Amino acid sequence: MVIDRGASIGTAALAAHGLSKRFKKKVALDKVDLAIPAGSVTALVGPNGAGKTTLIRVCMAFERPNAGTVEVDGVDPWKHRSEALRRVGYVPQTPAVYRGLSVEDHLAMARSLHSGFDSDYARRRLDQLGIPLDQRADTLSGGQAAQLGLAVALGTRAKVLLLDEPLANLDPLARREFIQVLLDAVKAEGSTALLSSHIVTDVEDACDRLVILGGGKVRLDCPLEEARQTHRLTEADSPPPGGTAVGSFLGRNGKTIMTLWRLAPGAGPGGDQGTGQGETSEAASLEDVVLGYLAAGRSIGLQLN
Amino acid sequence: MLSRIRLTFKQHRFETLAVTIVCVGLTAAALIEAFRLNSLNVPLSCLQSYQGSFVDPSQGPITAAQAHCNELAKSFSDMKGSLDMNLVQLLLLLVPLLTGIVVGAPLVAREIEQGTAPLSWALSGSRRRWLLGKVLAGVLLLASLMLAVGLAANVLEGALNPGLNPYNSFSNYLGRGVIDVFWALAAFAGTFALGTLFGRTMPAVVIALVVCFFVRGVWDAGMTHYVLRPFAIEQVLPDQPQQGYVAYGPGSGFADMFVYSKSYIDGKEATDAQVNDWYQQNMVCVPTPTQSASASPADSSSPSASSSPGPQATPGNPNMGVACQTPTIDPSHFPQQIQYVLPGSWYWQTVAMESGVLLLGSLFCGAIAFVWVDRRRPY
C-alpha cells in the first residue's frame, strides 16, 4: 500500500513535501512527497538522471530546493544545517578519500570535524574487514575505499544514513560485504538508511522499502514486499482481475512487450493466475516493477511489429 | 583544532614541503651572501670614496693605502652586482607572493576538484570551522617561514649598505622584515578566496599571479599618494632652486623615503607648468663657449630658449653656442621645491601602516571565502 505521504511527514526519519529542484531549465525534482519511516532500509531506485543524487544532496544541504521542504529527523537541513548534519551519516557517490592520508588519518579527521564521532566503533568495523589503519587511502581498493567511507559515516552514530550509489563501482563480492556491514550496523543501531542505486538487484535483498524515482517524480513509495505482492506481469494488454496498467516495457527475451499491472488492495495473492481472457499473469520481480514504473514515467508506449 | 592543522599539513604535504624547502633555502642563501659581503671587511670610508674605474687626475697619485681601499671597494661592488646576489634579491621580492599563492590555491579548490569536500562538509556542521582549521595551518606555515626569510633579508640589506641601519631606513623595505609575512598572507588570503569562488586550482593560481603582481607593481605609488602622504615631513631644499630628480623611495638605498614634492614661486604653490613658464620668462640666453652650452638647465635649441629676451648668439661663429641662464634675481625669489619625506626613523610606523593595509586586504579576502564557502556547492 502506498503510504499516506502528507500524514506521515511529521514522524518520518526523512520526509519531503512538495520538494522541487531545478537546474536552469532541467527539472531534477518535481514536487516530491516522500516519507521514510524510522528504522527502515529504503532503496531509492531510478535510472541515471532520475533525481536520486539531487534528493540526497538536498537532504545534505548541498543543494537549496526551489520549492518545498525536506526534514531529516525532523530538522530542515537548509535552515538548521549543523543540527541536521549531526543526525546524518553520508556516503558519497564515488569513494571520496584524501589521497595523502592514511585510514587512521581519515578517522582522526572525522573526529576533529564531528564532535560525536566514535573512532573506536569505526576502527572496529575496519578491523573486522581487515583494512589496515596505517594504509594510505589512495592505495585502497575500490571496495576498501567504500568501506572506509561507510565506516566514517557509521562512526558518526547518526540516526539517518544517506548512501548515494555507493555500490556503483564495486565488484559483486565488495557489494555484498558493503551491504552486510550496512545491514548489521542499521540493525544494531536502529538507524534509518536510504540507499540509492540504479541497479535493482543490488538493493533487492538489503532493503525493506522501495522508492522509485523517475523524471524527478516519485513513481512508487511502499514496502518492498507490498511492491512484489501488488504487481503482476502479463505479455499482452489483458489485465489481471482488479489490475490497473502501470507501464509496458521490453521483456527479458528482447522480443515480447510485458505490461506491469498494479492490483487493487486485497485483489489476490501473488503467483501465476488467469487474467480472465485466456492469458496468464505472473508474479512481477522487483526489477519488473521498477521497469514498469520507469516506462510509465517516460510515457513512451513500447510497440513491436 | 591542532589535529585539523596537522592533517591539513599532511593533506597538502607537497606544497608544505616545497614552500619550506624554498624558504629555508632562500633564508640560508641570503645569510650566506650577507656573510660573504661582511667578510670583506670593507671600511665605510673606502666605499664612500670609491668611484669605480674613474680616476680623478686632480687628486694626484694614488697611495698604496688608497689602492688597497679601492681594491676592497671594487670587490664589494663586484659581489654586490654579481648574478647570485641579484638572484637572491629578486627571489626575496617574489617568494612572499609565490609562497602565498602556492599554499592558498589548493586549500579549498583541491577538495572540490577531488570530491573530498562533500565528505568533510557532511561531517562538519560548520563549514566555516572546517575552513578555519585549514586557514590556520596556512597562516602558521607562512608566518613562520616568511619571518625567517624577512629577517634574513634584513641582514642582507645591512650587509649591502654598510652603515645603514635596516630598521631605520626605507632601503628595499618592502622586500624585507616583517612586511614579508603580510605580503605572503595577503597573497595566501586572496588565492584561497579565489579557490573558494572558482572551486578550481589552476584558474585560482593564474588569476592570483596576475592580481598579486599588479598590486605589487602599483603598491609604491598607491601607498605614497594615499596612505603615507599625511605623515610626510616637509624638507626644504634651499640649494636646489630648480626642479630635479630626487632618488628617494623604496629601493633607492636612501634612509629617508621621498613621498611627494610641491613647488612654490614667491611663496605661492605652483604647478610644474608654472615653474617651467617662470624659467622661460626669466632666463637670459647669452653666447658662451660651446662646451658650456650643454650644461645649461634648458635646451639651447628649444624655441622657448631662443625666444627669450636677452643677447642672442652670432650664428656665424662656430665656437660659440647659446646658454640660457637665470638673470640676477634674488635667490629667495627662485621657484622653490619642497619635498615631503618620511625620515628613516619612521620605518616601524610605516611598516606597521603598510602591514595593516595588507592585513585588512587579507581579512577582506578571507571574509569573502568564509561567506562563500557556506553558500557554495561542494562539487
pLDDT in tens, A25-64: 889 899 999 999 988 899 998 888 888 999 999 999 999 9
The pair phi, psi for residue A121, each rounded to 5°, is: -60, -50
In angstroms, the CA B163 to CA B175 distance is 19
pLDDT for A100 equals 85
Q: Which of residues 43-82 of A touch B (CB under 8 A)?
A: 60, 62-63, 81-82
Q: Is B64 on the interface with A (CB under 8 A)?
A: no
**How many helices and strands, by DSSP H and E, does chain B display?**
14, 6
Could you write out the three-class secondary structure of A192-210?
Answer: EEEEEECCHHHHHCCCCEE
| Separation in Å, CA of B123 to nearest CA in chain A | 6
Cα first-last separation, chain B: 25
What phi and psi values does residue A160 have, to the nearest 5 degrees? -125, 130
**Which residues of chain A make contact with B1, given a CB cutoff of 8 A?**
112
**Chain B residues with CB-CB distance to A156 below 8 A:** 123
- pLDDT tens sequence across A230-278: 888 888 767 777 778 888 888 777 777 888 888 876 655 544 455 455 5
**A217 contact partners, CB below 8 Å, separation of at least 6:** A30, A31, A32, A297
Closest residue, chain A, to B11 (C-alpha) = A100
Q: Which B residues 113-172 touch A at CB under 8 Å?
A: 114-116, 118-126, 129-130, 133
Residue of A nearest to B1 (CA): A112
Cross-strand pairs, B200: none
Nearest C-alpha of chain B: how many angstroms from A110? 6
Any CB–CB contact under 8 A between B314 and chain A?
Answer: no
Would an 8 Å CB–CB cutoff place B297 in contact with chain A? no
Q: Residue B379 and residue A62: Cβ atoms within 8 Å?
A: yes
Q: Tell me if chain A has a CB within 8 Å of the CB of B10.
A: yes
Plot region of B16 (φ>0 → left; ψ -120 to 50 → alpha; else → beta): alpha
What is chain A's percent helix, strand, coil content, to nearest 5? 30, 30, 40
pLDDT for residue A245: 81
B364 CA to chain A: closest CA distance, Å? Answer: 25
CB within 8 Å: B4 and A86: no
Between CA A6 and CA A17 the distance in angstroms is 7
For the stretch A103-119, pLDDT in tens is 999 999 999 998 889 99
Cβ <8 Å between B11 and A101: yes
Give A94's contacts in chain B (Cβ within 8 Å): 115
- pLDDT band at residue A294 under the 50/70/90 scheme: confident
Q: Across the interface, do B116 and A109 touch by the CB < 8 Å criterion? A: no
Give the Å distances, CA to CA, from A5 to A33, A37, A209, B347. 6, 11, 14, 72
Q: What are phi and psi of B39, to 5 degrees?
A: -70, -15
Distances B188 to A85, B138, B144, B312 between C-alpha atoms, Å: 30, 8, 14, 65
Average pLDDT over residues A194-203: 83
**For residue A263, what is its C-alpha cell?**
492490483
Q: Which of chain B's residues have a Cβ under 8 Å away from the Cβ of A111?
A: 3
Q: Is A219 on the interface with B (CB under 8 A)?
A: no
Could you state, in order of their start, the residue ranges of all structural domains in chain B? Answer: 2-219+347-372
Rounded to 10 degrees, the C-alpha dihedral A148/A12/A78/B116 comes to: 10
A235: which residues sit within 8 A by CB, 6+ positions away? A251, A256, A257, A258, A259, A279
Quote the pLDDT of residue B298.
38
Q: What was the pLDDT predicted at A300?
A: 46
A58 to chain B: nearest residue by CA? B377
Chain A residues with CB-CB distance to B133 below 8 A: 112
CB B302 within 8 A of CB B272: no
Give CA–CA dist A28/A43, Å, rounded.
Answer: 18
- Which phi-psi region, left, alpha or beta, contains residue B257 (left: φ > 0; alpha: ψ -120 to 50)? beta
pLDDT at B309: 38
- Quickly tell me which residue has 587511502 as its cell: A137
Starting at the edge strand that comes first in sequence, how are the strands of the sheet with A26-36 ordered?
A26-36, A14-23, A67-72
Q: How many CB atoms lie within 10 A of CB B201?
A: 20
Cell output for B345: 626613523
Q: Which of A53, A63, A112 to mutate to test the interface with B (most CBs of B within 10 A)?
A: A112
Which residues between 238 and 267 in chain A have a beta carbon less than 8 angstroms from any beta carbon of chain B?
Answer: none
In tens digits, chain B (379 residues) has pLDDT values of 888 899 999 999 999 999 999 999 999 999 999 999 999 888 887 877 776 655 566 666 677 777 888 888 888 888 888 999 999 999 999 999 999 999 999 999 999 998 899 989 988 778 998 999 999 999 999 999 999 999 999 999 989 888 788 888 888 888 899 999 999 999 999 999 999 999 999 999 999 999 999 999 999 888 888 888 888 887 765 444 444 334 444 445 567 777 778 888 877 888 888 888 888 787 776 666 654 444 344 343 333 333 333 334 444 455 556 666 666 677 677 787 788 888 888 889 889 999 999 999 999 999 999 999 988 888 8
- What was the pLDDT predicted at A130? 85
- Closest CA of chain B from A112, distance in Å: 6
Nearest to B125 among A82, A90, A101 (CB): A82
Say what the pLDDT of residue B234 is: 78
Which residues 125-164 of chain A have a CB within 8 Å of chain B? 149, 152, 156
- Residue A113 DSSP SS3: helix
From CA B38, how far away is CA B91, in angstroms rounded?
21
B7 has a chain A CB within 8 A of its CB:
yes
Radius of gyration of chain B (CA): 28
- B114:A96 CB<8 A: yes
Interface of A with B in 15-44 (CB under 8 A): none
Instruction: Report DSSP letters for B31-79, one per residue.
Output: HHHHHHHHHT---HHHHHH--TT---GGG-SPPHHHHHHHHHHHHHHHH
A with B: how many residue pairs have Cβ under 8 Å apart? 75
Q: Which residues sit opposite B265 in a β-bridge?
A: B268
| Range from A130-134, A151-155, A177-181, B55-59 carrying the lowest mean pLDDT | B55-59
Q: Could you give the CA distance from residue A78 to residue A83 in angstroms, rounded to a whole number?
A: 10
Contact by Cβ (8 Å): A210, A43: yes
Cβ contact A68:A55 at 8 Å: no
Q: Tell me the three cell numbers of residue B242.
A: 630648480
The minimal CB distance from A100 to the residues B1, B10, B126 is found for B10
Q: Is B17 on the interface with A (CB under 8 A)?
A: no
- C-beta atoms of B377 and A113 within 8 A: no
Chain A contacts of B122, Cβ < 8 Å? 60, 85, 88-90, 92
Residue contact B4–A152, C-beta within 8 A: no
Q: A291: pLDDT confidence band, cut at 50, 70 and 90?
A: confident
Q: Are strands A280-283 and A257-263 parallel, antiparallel or unpaired?
A: unpaired
In chain A, the DSSP E strands lie at 14-23, 26-36, 41-45, 67-72, 88-91, 160-164, 192-197, 209-214, 217-223, 231-234, 243-250, 257-263, 273-274, 280-283
CB-nearest partner of B378 from A62, A94, A99: A62
A220-223 long-range contacts, Cβ below 8 Å, gap at least 24?
Answer: A220/A2, A220/A289, A220/A293, A221/A2, A221/A3, A221/A5, A221/A34, A221/A35, A222/A1, A222/A2, A222/A3
Cell numbers that stand for B352 in this block: 606597521
Beta strand A192-197 with A41-45 is parallel
Instruction: Among A98, A115, A154, A157, pick the best mutation site for testing chain B contact (most B Cβ within 10 A).
Output: A98
What span, in angstroms and rounded, lies between the C-alpha atoms of A117 and B119?
A: 14
CA–CA separation, B194 and A130 (whole Å): 41
Is the Cβ–Cβ distance between B8 and B134 less than 8 Å? yes
- The CB-based long-range contact list for A61-67 (8 Å cut-off, 24+ gap) reads A61/A85, A62/B118, A62/B121, A62/B377, A62/B378, A62/B379, A63/A21, A63/B377, A65/A19, A65/A20, A65/A21, A65/A29, A66/A20, A66/A21, A66/A22, A67/A18, A67/A19, A67/A20, A67/A31
B60–A contact, CB cutoff 8 A: no
Query: Which residues in chain B are contacts of A81 at CB distance < 8 A?
Result: 125
Could you give the residue ranges of the DSSP H alpha helices within B223-331?
272-282, 290-293, 303-306
